[in-house]
Amino acid sequence: MTGPTLAVEELDDRVVVTLRRPEARNAINAAMVRELHDVCTVLEERPRLLLLTGDGGVFAAGADIGELRERGRDQALQGINSRLFDRLARLPMPTVAAVDGYALGGGAELAYSCDIRLASPAAVFGNPEPGLGILAAAGACWRLRDLVGASVAKQVLLAGRRLDADDALRCGLVAEVVPAGDLLKRAHALLDRMARSAPLALRLTKLVADAPGGHPVTDDLAQAILFESTDKQTRMDAFLAGDRP
C-alpha cells in the first residue's frame, strides 16, 4: 500500500502509517488525503489498530498551502480534509498518533482525530489558520475543545498559542512525552497493551465512548453482545483458573 506520500506497513494486529513528504514537511495534500482514505478502507474491511507518525522529525506541518490557495467555496463544502479526519476518528479499532516535531494546522487536526497521542519533546501543536484568512475547519474548532477544554482551545484557535510537548502533556492532549528515539517503540508498546484486550471489546468500548451524549441503553446493548462472546468466556475462565493478565 505504500504510495508517493505514505509508507504503510501492514501487520497482523496493526497498521503503521508514516507520513512522507519531506520536501513539504509532510504537509497534507490531495494525494495524501487519497492515500489515507485507502488506509481507512483497509481498516474498515479488516479492523486493526492504527499507528500514525511522520518521517524526518516532523509529524505534519499543516495542509498544503499551495493547494489551499486555489480552493474555493465548492471545495470547502466538500470537506476534503474534514471528511477524512472524521473517517479516521470513526475507525473501528483504536488509533494512536506518535508526534515528533510540528503538528500544525491540518497536521494538528489529523493528530486530534486519533484516540491517543504520544509526543517527543520536540512536538509542537498549533492551529494558525486565521493568520491565513481561514479557520481550522477540519475538526479543531470542536475536537480540540473536547480534548483540552474551551479555554485552552480558544487560546490555540483564536490567539495563536502553540502547545509544546510539556503544555500538551499538562492539558491532557498527549498521554506521554517520550524521547524521540524511543517514540515509536513506546507507541508500539501501547499498541501491544491494547492488542492483549479482546478485539470486540475494544471495538465496542470505542463505539460507546464516542457515542454522542452517552446512554445506559447503549452500554447495555454493547455489554449484551460481549456477554455472549466466546472471547469473554475464554478470558474469564482463564482468569478464574489463575491465569491473570
- pLDDT, one tens digit per residue, over 205-220 is 999 999 988 788 889 9
The structure's pTM equals 0.93
* CA pair distance 158, 77, nearest whole angstrom: 23
The band of 245, judged by pLDDT with boundaries at 50, 70 and 90, is: low
* CA pair distance 106, 28, nearest whole angstrom: 7
The whole-number pLDDT of residue 64 equals 79
The band of 1, judged by pLDDT with boundaries at 50, 70 and 90, is: low
* CA pair distance 124, 31, nearest whole angstrom: 24
Asked if 10 is an active-site residue, the reply is: no
Per DSSP, the residues of 16-30 read: EEEE--GGGTT-B-H
Asked if 35 is an active-site residue, the reply is: no
Amino acid present at 15 = V
* CA pair distance 26, 99, nearest whole angstrom: 12
**Residue in 9, 67, 129, 176 annotated catalytic:** 129
* CA pair distance 41, 117, nearest whole angstrom: 22
Q: What are phi and psi of 163, to 5 degrees?
A: -100, 115
**Residue in 45, 109, 176, 228 annotated catalytic:** 109
The whole-number pLDDT of residue 71 equals 77
Secondary structure element (H or E) that encloses residue 235, with its range:
helix 230-240
